[in-house]
Amino acid sequence: MHCRAGCGACCIAPSISSPLPGMPAGKPAGERCLHLSSENLCLLFGDPRRPAVCSDFSADPDVCGDSREDAIRLIGWLEQATSAA
């Protein structure tokens, strides 16, 4: 599966614990990444400062569903399920 153009769910729904430029503490789940453009595109794409967790993410129907709304819901659910310990 290829990422949906303009989705950006992976830059909103999950937490990112790695430091990002301008976000030294990472970002909490549900918060829009500072580097997500108004078109929902990653402004750090291809930049060596982009965290590995972002570069390593691969779109998958099980995670992204059939729409941006599905992706936000599914990634949010996975975030909650994996952070509850």
Output the tens digit of pLDDT for each of the chain's 85 residues. Answer: 999 989 999 999 999 999 999 999 999 999 999 999 999 999 999 999 999 999 999 999 999 999 999 999 999 999 999 886 5
Whether 30 contacts 76, CB under 8 Å:
yes
Other beta carbons within 10 Å of 41: 15
Per-residue model confidence (pLDDT) at position 14: 95
Residues making up the chain, counted from first to last: 85
Burial 7-28 (b: 16+ CB within 10 A, else e): bbbbbbbbebeeebeebeeebe
What one-letter code names the amino acid at 58?
Answer: S
The answer to whether the CB of 74 falls within 8 A of the CB of 14 is no
**pLDDT for the residue 8:** 96
